[in-house]
Homo-oligomer: A and B are copies of this chain.
Amino acid sequence: MYSLSEENYLKAIYHLSNNGEESVNTNAIAEEMKTAPASVSDMIRKLSKKKLVNYQKYRGVTISSKGKYIALNVIRKHRLWEVFLVEKLSFKWDEVHEVAEQLEHIQSNQLIERLDEHLGFPKFDPHGDPIPNANGEIAPIPTTTLSMLKPGDKCRVICAKDSSSDLLVYLDKIKISLGARLEVTDFHAFDGSFSLEVEGANPITISSKVTENIIVEEL
């Protein structure tokens, strides 16, 4: 139906536009896709012709509802495959992204609906991100990051914002997993780092770069 490249562009635009809310500029897409800005212009024109994005030259792009539907379908497949890899094939949460990037492009509704069923209709992927349903509807992602909390605040970890292997391996190392309960014990203004109590583990201090990438629910 749509090429691998088209699907990847739509997914990138969806993510960069804050889930379809905002307009995205060419350079941002180029950086996300690790491609030249000129290539982005070409592809945008193509997607625009197919009504998958709204586009005016030099004015950035917004994703159309048709484009959003396709993007969410690819994201659905990506996240369901991630659940499969972790739950059924014992992959670690930091090992699944690359393979899921390939599996997300397999075309078969029957396959994905049966996979969903086989996995028990999961609502979240191994990083805590919500899985869109077959109609392209997705639960809102909470926006509170650990970095927004103050000393004394308690929270529960909801999801990792960045699914890069580096972050996930680090979180494993310091025993912060999804659902973990944390308490902020101190904030260090000098570099923005936080000291935390982690339920069932040793107290730790982590950088602002990390706290900005942990989505939490305040308790």
Which residues does A use to contact B, with CB under 8 Å? 85, 88-91, 95, 98-99, 102-103, 106-108, 110-111, 114-115, 118
With A and B bound together, what is the CA distance between A108 and B99 in angstroms? 7
Judge whether A99 and B89 touch: CB under 8 Å: no
Instruction: Select one of B102, B108, B118 contacting A108, CB under 8 A.
Output: B102
Judge whether B85 and A111 touch: CB under 8 Å: yes
With A and B bound together, what is the CA distance between A89 and B111 in angstroms? 8
Judge whether A99 and B111 touch: CB under 8 Å: yes
Judge whether B108 and A90 touch: CB under 8 Å: no
Which 8 residue pairs are nearest across A and B when measured between Cβ atoms? A89-B114, A99-B108, A102-B106, A99-B111, A89-B118, A88-B118, A103-B106, A89-B115
Q: How far is the CB of A126 from chain B (nearest CB, A)?
A: 15
Name 5 interchain pairs, CB-CB below 8 A, sorted by A.
Answer: A89-B111, A91-B114, A99-B106, A99-B108, A103-B106
Q: How far is the CB of A120 from chain B (nearest CB, A)?
A: 13
Contacts of A107 in B (CB 8 A): 102
Contacts of A91 in B (CB 8 A): 110, 114
With A and B bound together, what is the CA distance between A106 and B110 in angstroms? 19
With A and B bound together, what is the CA distance between A118 and B88 in angstroms? 7
Closest to A88 in B: B118
Q: How far is the CB of A152 from chain B (nearest CB, A)?
A: 43
Contacts of A114 in B (CB 8 A): 89-91
Contacts of A99 in B (CB 8 A): 106, 108, 110-111
With A and B bound together, what is the CA distance between A115 and B108 in angstroms? 19
With A and B bound together, what is the CA distance between A114 and B88 in angstroms? 9
Q: How far is the CB of A96 from chain B (nearest CB, A)?
A: 10
With A and B bound together, what is the CA distance between A103 and B103 in angstroms? 8
Contacts of A115 in B (CB 8 A): 89
With A and B bound together, what is the CA distance between A32 and B115 in angstroms? 31
